[in-house]
DNA sequence: ACCTGAACACCGTTCAAGT
DNA sequence: ACCTGAACACCGTTCAAGT
């Protein structure tokens, strides 16, 4: 066979197809052989571009995390900073729930990830929070985001869906149930964020009055 | 070979050994063949006791979830109910961080799981929370617990550990770092729970005054 | 530099057969 | 009822070889 002048694969093309497979069939639905097949190539070819499957997944994770917005920590309102960060973070995970387990284990590119963590921490400290509190607020906001995302992720494993589909044979109903669960998740997240930030504000006042 | 009078395996013995393997080597470190080997048996023998690996894992998950305490929802203080629930829930996950991804996808025994959910929801409604809020409080408390547990889980994947070990060759230091991270997680969780419940109390007052 | 064929060392699970 | 040996249909990854 004649060698084509241009490479068959690129990292971007591999990522794109891999993410589509994960979205459609979950993390276990992605295999290097099947991915290669969809890209019209043999499995070992992928290893010319990514050293391992894990490296590929974390590269995708980095791509997704780039939409997380920490810009509001530049302003004077620390609560607004947390809110924008938490919402954009959650949105990034909710767009690809099957990727959540990978995203939870941390992105591969440490520099950009550390830069984000530094923006959060720096913003909180500039707003007058003691460093230790800044760390804890950053950590617990992450808990809220990750936990909410895990909830959407795990919904993919519920066999309840089948039960409901049997009970209500109209597909609309099943979709409505899924939509309703997503809505409860969204509302619960917003309520939790409100209560959490409200409680922190009170804590902040107590700290200042001391 | 003579057939022994007593079965070689039991569900309890399989669960015990499987959980030990998951604790020691992670979820990927558990294989039906290796597990069978440790139990002095061939892999297919396990299928006389569990239909699939997934069923085994979720049975272990159920066992772990049985330590979650929702008894304080019987009292009059809804916040105490949430606190006891959240803490015992988190403790159950923190004891076996590698099981978190399984525990996050929900236990298999729906009845006991639903009974717990009902105790939470019922306790909140009896305390005067509108049903919709009871649902959201239950959901967001779970987010906090699962998110905090995922954080411990993902720490197992950090290659940072190696970096630090290189920098500080004394193993004590590495252990201290891990302990420190666990401590930050514990403190952050408690702070988040305080702020969250504080914010909810304020919200509750506003709802009552309307 | 990029891709392939063949191979290694694994998986979960099934199934006929043994006791 | 419980366990085994052999087999099926997969995995991720390596490596020598080709262009």
Give the model confidence (pLDDT) of A21-73 as tens digits: 999 999 999 999 999 999 999 999 999 999 999 999 999 999 999 999 999 99
B44 Cβ contacts chain D strand, under 7 Å: yes
d(CA B203, CA B47): 52
Prediction pTM value = 0.92
* B106 Rama sector, left if φ>0, alpha if ψ -120 to 50, beta otherwise: left
User: Is pLDDT at B118 greater than 90 in this prediction?
Assistant: yes
C1' (C13) to CA (B63) span, angstroms: 25
Q: What percent of chain B has pLDDT over 70?
A: 89
pLDDT of residue A1: 45
Picking from B102, B129, B195 by the largest number of A CB atoms within 10 A of its own CB, the best residue to mutate is: B195
pLDDT of residue B13: 98
Q: Which residue has the higher pLDDT, B7 or A148?
A: A148
C1' (C12) to CA (A38) span, angstroms: 24
B14-47 pLDDT, tens digit each: 999 999 999 999 999 999 999 999 999 999 999 9
pLDDT of residue A180: 87
User: Is pLDDT at B6 greater than 70 in this prediction?
Assistant: yes
Give the torsion through C-alpha atoms of B91, B67, B14, B38, to 10 deg. 30
Cβ within 8 Å, pair B144-A144:
yes
Mark which residues 130-159 of A lie under 8 Å from B by CB. Answer: 133, 135-137, 139-140, 142-148, 150-151, 153-154, 157-158
Helical (H) or strand (E) element with A17: helix A11-25
Question: Which nucleotides on chain C have any atom < 7 A from a protein Cβ?
Answer: 1-6, 10-16, 19
Q: What is the DSSP string of A161-196?
A: HHHHHHHS--HHHHHHHHHHHHHHHHHHHHHHHHHH
pLDDT of residue A155: 81
The rounded mean pLDDT for chain B is 90
What are the C-alpha distances in Å from A149 to residues A74, A191, A204, B143? 26, 15, 28, 8
Q: Look up the protein residue whose alpha carbon has the minimum distance to the C1' of C14.
A: B44
Cα first-last separation, chain B? 78
pLDDT of residue A42: 98
B60-76 pLDDT, tens digit each: 999 999 999 999 999 99
In chain A, the residue whose alpha carbon lies closest to the alpha carbon of B137 is A188
User: Is pLDDT at A177 greater than 80 in this prediction?
Assistant: no
Q: Look up the protein residue whose alpha carbon has the minimum distance to the C1' of D4.
A: B42
Closest nucleotide C1' to the C-alpha of B51: C13
A137: Cα within 13 Å, side-chain hemisphere: 33
B152-197 pLDDT, tens digit each: 888 877 655 544 444 444 555 566 777 888 999 999 999 999 999 9
A50: Cα within 13 Å, side-chain hemisphere: 23
**How far does Cα B110 stand from its chain's mean position?**
16
pLDDT of residue B107: 78
């Amino acid at each position: 066979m004649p060698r084509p002048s241009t490479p068959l694969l690129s990292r971007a093309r591999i990522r794109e197809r891999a993410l589509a497979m994960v979205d459609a069939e979950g993390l276990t639905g992605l295999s290097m052989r099947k991915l290669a097949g969809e890209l019209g190539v043999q499995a070992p070819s992928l290893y010319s571009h990514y050293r391992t499957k894990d490296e590929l997944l974390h590269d995708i994770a980095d791509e997704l995390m780039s939409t997380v917005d920490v810009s509001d920590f530049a302003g004077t309102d620390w609560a607004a900073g947390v809110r924008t960060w938490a919402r954009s973070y959650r949105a990034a995970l909710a767009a690809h729930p099957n990727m959540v387990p990978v995203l939870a284990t941390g992105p591969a590119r440490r520099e950009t990830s550390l830069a984000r963590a530094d923006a959060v921490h720096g913003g909180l400290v500039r707003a007058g929070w003691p460093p230790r509190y800044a760390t804890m607020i950053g950590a617990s906001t992450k808990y809220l985001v990750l936990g909410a995302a895990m909830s959407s992720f795990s919904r993919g494993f519920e066999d309840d869906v089948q039960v409901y589909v049997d009970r209500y044979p109209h597909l609309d109903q099943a979709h409505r149930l899924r939509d309703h669960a997503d809505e409860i998740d969204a509302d619960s997240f917003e309520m939790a964020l409100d209560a959490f930030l409200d409680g922190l504000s009170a804590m902040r006042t107590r700290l200042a009055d001391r």
